[in-house]
Chains A and B, each alone.
Chain A
């Protein structure tokens, strides 16, 4: 029965994770949201007739890049048609991009479409009838920012109507008279949007959102430096009221629940009795625990929206060693005990999977050294700052 409960609990955690889609809490959400923002702002620029000279043209910066290939193939008529359609359909595209009617669905499976008698592997497929775009998640994540913009422009343009009908890949459209004229036209649209997006500084700034670390990662390593202070003075001057520490910890997230393990080294040296007696204490702490995180800010697409607070409780094992010495004698002692601790850690995102964090906590693991007449009877408050990496 107990095992069943555990399995049920774990299953519920996974289930919770899989339903957390579309709000920035899952894989691909940030990339999709950033790309859509880029599209929205690019079409707004087109509507406002900004940079109209660059429509369906390759700029110098993109001259040698693959994203320009569809534009380089255009003849004069096709280019004019592309410019015309982009200008005319920009309001409609903007509406579609901002509409909740268009459903985007992720899949981990390969996507294939039939072209004539052949099956063709693609990164996305659009069902205009259901207004549904299906994206291959691994492929989407692997793409560059401009490729994602290209792909989404292509797929969203499938949902617009030209001369009363939606554009299909394997049909002709306007001056694109080859059998896959629709695909060539939509690729030209995608390329043009992608080039424009890179050219418009306000729009390309959304790329930072993509590079920003994301909280949905499951595996986290934390490293931090800090200090601790005993709540009450130690029983003798051999004790350290204040100490420095360094900690490494690991978290595995199941949704917003975390399973954690940590190893911490607390150390301090001091001299007493006119600097004639040196004291060195070293404490190793090994802890396992669990935690839950919550997001104080709502929008996961923003810097603050990704930041979160992790509250944890640990069971700790402590192994400590003290050495007291003067010019003539050295006396040492070691002890082992168990204890517990609670922590609150605030994580703020950096880039490329790295995070900053600041932590405060309280540890309770009283212990004593018999050889040196020293007892720590109460807990310690702790604080630290550090860096995390999530993947």
Chain B
């Protein structure tokens, strides 16, 4: 008996020692406002158009580099405050401004490179952001659940801002959220209600201004995404259910049970969707019209690092991680053993598939992909799927290494 106890303790210790850093890809996408922050800005605009420029934060020289992807030239390089901290980057090509987010700080670099520091003072480390540059709105969510709101004009200068706590309605905290195309902050709350916030008035009044709130009958909401092209519909992930909610009718218009699937990824990239898995069946669940629809491909995929669905362009791109086994102690496991695959979504005709080099941060667009490597000298690879070409950005840190 004593031996059995000992064996059990040893077995439990072994199991806990072998606990993987990552069982599925959803944990860091849950309970966010907007999308998880990266040190590379998006290659597409909020409406899915390709951007010809990208901003990259490089910690070796503590600078944000802005590149033209057509000519692969460095346009400008911006020094950051607080170089020892992690930095995340947002970029708006039309206004040619860069947002630098770091611990307790937000800095805005306008089209001339003039910096405005400490525009939002929050206590924690930024983890996600909802960025609608066409509407001039940015909402930043930190790891201590503070919410920073910023109004940015077309020249990349801050007009007003405010930082609020997570208790928006006085009784419930924020579970997830995003900005819809009407410029409203849609929040799923801890009491499973949906709350709509007027961002402009909130900044002016310097307190949360809620325009409406309604219950949902859902439980444990962890993810929320406004549907592209609609100011009414939002896609919500709750406990074992994917639901499509109408803000106007305050009802669930469509739902899909997740109970028999492993949830691999939640994505707001262009058209919101989630990636599910059941055995070798990989399922993409998305919104078509007023209902949740699914499509399946049969692929061996252990984990999904990124997924991008563009229904207008009829394109689905998925970056899968081939290794399904536990990834021992790797906090950046999503950077290894990756394969990028693309389909024409209307009939799921595969367009291309290739393996990616390990250990890079990825940003994908409809016809292109940027892979940023942790090279001290500076190294990024730009894949142009239209032309089938690969271009390298090499040594962009060199001029700034003292």
| A interface list, Cβ under 8 A from B | 236-238, 272-273, 276-277, 324-329, 331, 371-373
Contacts and interface: CB of A to CB of B under 8 A. Distances in A.
Interface in B374-402: 374-379, 392, 394-395, 398-399, 401-402
Contacts of B373: 328-329
Contacts of A329: 373, 375, 377-379, 392, 394-395
Contacts of B395: 324, 329, 331, 371-372
Nearest to A329: B379
B246 interface: no
B377 A324 contact: yes
A326 B396 CA distance: 13
Contacts of A237: 401-402
Given A329-B394, A331-B394, A277 B377 contact: yes
Contacts of B379: 326, 328-329
Interface of B is mostly: loop
Nearest to A274: B376
B60 interface: yes
Contacts of B398: 238, 324, 331, 371-373
A238 B377 CA distance: 11
Given A237-B402, A373-B398, A373-B401, 19 more contacts: A237-B401, A238-B398, A273-B60, A273-B401, A276-B376, A325-B377, A326-B376, A326-B377, A328-B373, A328-B377, A328-B379, A329-B373, A329-B378, A329-B394, A329-B395, A331-B395, A371-B395, A372-B395, A372-B398
Contacts of B374: 328
Given A331-B395, A371-B395, A372-B395, A273 B402 contact: no
Q: Which 8 A-B pairs have the closest CB atoms?
A: A328-B375, A329-B379, A328-B379, A328-B373, A331-B395, A273-B376, A373-B399, A326-B376
Contacts of B60: 273
A236 B377 contact: no
Contacts of B394: 329, 331
A326 B379 CA distance: 10
Given A273-B60, A331-B394, A371-B395, A326 B402 contact: no
Interface residues of B, number: 15
> Which of A325, A326, A329, A373 is most buried by chain B, counting CB atoms within 10 A of its CB?
A329
Interface of B: 60, 373-379, 392, 394-395, 398-399, 401-402
> Which of A272, A325, A328, A331 is most buried by chain B, counting CB atoms within 10 A of its CB?
A328
Contact of B375 (A272, A326, A372): A326
17 contacts: A237-B401, A238-B398, A238-B401, A273-B376, A276-B376, A324-B377, A326-B376, A327-B375, A328-B379, A329-B373, A329-B377, A329-B379, A331-B377, A331-B395, A331-B398, A371-B395, A372-B398
A159 B353 CA distance: 106
A21 B60 CA distance: 70
Contacts, number: 46
Nearest to A273: B376
A372 B394 CA distance: 11
Contacts of A276: 376
Contacts of B402: 236-237
B199 to A, nearest CB: 41
A95 B77 CA distance: 91
B276 to A, nearest CB: 34
Contacts of B377: 277, 324-326, 328-329, 331
Nearest to B61: A273
A237 B397 CA distance: 13
B338 to A, nearest CB: 16
A331 B373 CA distance: 15
> Which of B373, B377, B378, B394 is most buried by chain A, counting CB atoms within 10 A of its CB?
B377
Contacts of A331: 377, 394-395, 398
A52 to B, nearest CB: 84
Contacts of A325: 377
Contacts of B399: 373
A273 B376 CA distance: 8
Contacts of B376: 273, 276-277, 326
A345 B250 CA distance: 94
A273 B60 CA distance: 9
A272 B61 CA distance: 13
Contacts of A373: 398-399, 401
A236 B377 CA distance: 13
Nearest to B400: A373
Contacts of A371: 395, 398
Nearest to B360: A328
Contacts of B401: 236-238, 272-273, 373
Contacts of A328: 373-375, 377, 379
Nearest to B378: A329
Nearest to A372: B398
Nearest to B357: A328
Contacts of A324: 377, 395, 398
Nearest to A276: B376
B151 to A, nearest CB: 39
Contacts of A327: 375
A272 B376 CA distance: 10
A178 to B, nearest CB: 94
A373 B379 CA distance: 16
Contacts of B375: 326-329
A277 B394 CA distance: 14
A373 B401 CA distance: 9
Nearest to A325: B377
A325 B376 CA distance: 9
Nearest to B375: A328
Contacts of A236: 401-402
A372 B374 CA distance: 18
> Which of A272, A277, A371 is most buried by chain B, counting CB atoms within 10 A of its CB?
A277
A327 to B, nearest CB: 7
A371 B377 CA distance: 12
B332 to A, nearest CB: 15
A237 B399 CA distance: 11
A164 to B, nearest CB: 95
A218 B30 CA distance: 85
A146 to B, nearest CB: 71
A277 B60 CA distance: 11
Nearest to B60: A273
Contacts of A273: 60, 376, 401
B59 to A, nearest CB: 11
Contacts of A277: 376-377
